[in-house]
Amino acid sequence: MSERDATAVRAFAPRLLAWFERHGRHDLPWQVDRTPYRVWVSEVMLQQTQVQTAIPYFERFVARFPDVRALADAPLDEVLHLWSGLGYYARARNLHAAARAIRDAHRGEFPTAFDDVLALPGIGRSTAGAILAQAHGERHAILDGNVKRVLARWFGIEGWPGETRVADSLWAASEAVTPPDRAADYTQAIMDLGATLCTRARPACVLCPVAGDCVARVSGRQHELPTPKPAKARPRRRVAWLVLRAGDAVLLERRPPTGLWGGLWGFPEFESRDAAVEFALARHGAAELRAWAPLAHAFSHFDLDVEPYVADVTASAAVAEPERWTWYDPRSPSKLGLAAPVAGLLAAVLED
């Protein structure tokens, strides 16, 4: 951690809290009727999603699953269905697995011990601290993406935050400025600051309550800190999707439980058109495939090019493995988790 004047470090939280009282966000859905469960769901949703995007998903999710037991007892397909479109589906799978662990190991009560929270699937050090701070007012340092940006700039911490050395410095900085009381307000305040003023591009330094002694602002380095991740060439992957139609129904396959779109339902996927043709002919007697316009989808670490191939079959025979295959009618859809490109292609099937 960069050396800072102890007086400035002590004054960081009071200035931030004074700003939060006037300009912070106080009426977010998870701040109303605040419970550990609602805070936990919101923190998981916000790991990779902006607040305004997360709000309608959160409201639908907690309306259907109002507590840990409701979530734990629900089928994973329904959980993924409500998560569809939010992305990073491992979050939903982990949320469901954690709910079952809480139901079975903690009698359905969200744990209060930090180590017990940290042991739950999908919860890291920062999320565990944020949950306990927001739900119980406990003092815990946090370090999500917004907080990393605020602290890297204010302390002048150089280096990509993904490096252990830099992450250690940021954790030390977070520990140093986290106040002994008002933990719930403080954690929300520093996240709000990063989300609304200390943004990645065009930070609003003139409105920032701690800009006066921010190293990045004083040195004109707001756009250099935090140090970006070293650039790498983005790989591209090409796959073929097989759209088998039998009347109004379309054949879908459940993807493996981990990996890309893990646990969601999608079109049978192949490495090439030839492999798709072979499957369609051998399993469903479809010899002719029509190529549809290709799709492109960007993930955080690579780009995916999809070539859809469509074939009509005569009957939607019962599938031998109902846990893996299903005939899905997009006109009267069942509650299945669908990735956004799959939902988009199903809409095109309806229009064809």
Residue of 3, 21, 43, 271 marked catalytic? 43
On whether residue 227 sits in a domain, the answer given is no
Banded pLDDT at 3 (limits 50, 70, 90) = low
User: Could you write out the three-class secondary structure of the chain?
Assistant: CCCCCHHHHHHHHHHHHHHHHHHCCCCCHHHCCCCHHHHHHHHHHCCCCCHHHHHHHHHHHHHHCCCHHHHHHCCHHHHHHHHCCCCCCHHHHHHHHHHHHHHHHCCCCCCCCHHHHHCCCCCCHHHHHHHHHHHHCCCCCCCCHHHHHHHHHHHCCCCCCCCHHHHHHHHHHHHHHCCCCCHHHHHHHHHHHHHHCCCCCCCCHHHCCCHHHCHHHHCCCCCCCCCCCCCCCCCEEEEEEEEEEECCEEEEEECCCCCCCCCCEECCEECCHHHHHHHHHHHHCCCCCEECCCEEEECCCCEEEEEEEEEECCCCCCCCCCCCEEEECCCCCCCCCECHHHHHHHHHHHHC
Does 307 qualify as catalytic in the annotation? no
Supply the range of the domain harboring residue 328: 236-351
On whether residue 225 sits in a domain, the answer given is no
- Is residue 161 located within the same domain as residue 274? no
- Is residue 200 located within the same domain as residue 247? no
Report the CATH number at residue 117. 1.10.340.30
- Is residue 203 located within the same domain as residue 329? no
Banded pLDDT at 106 (limits 50, 70, 90) = very high
- Each residue's pLDDT tens digit, 151-187: 999 999 999 999 999 999 999 999 999 999 999 999 9
- Is residue 207 located within the same domain as residue 248? no
Mean pLDDT of 268-285: 90
On whether residue 205 sits in a domain, the answer given is yes
- Is residue 242 located within the same domain as residue 214? no
How many structural domains are present in the chain? 2
- Is residue 269 located within the same domain as residue 142? no
- pLDDT at site 318: 57
- Is residue 197 located within the same domain as residue 301? no
- Is residue 188 located within the same domain as residue 242? no
Q: What is the mean pLDDT of the chain?
A: 93
On whether residue 1 sits in a domain, the answer given is no
pLDDT over 70 at 1, yes or no = no
pLDDT over 80 at 315, yes or no = no
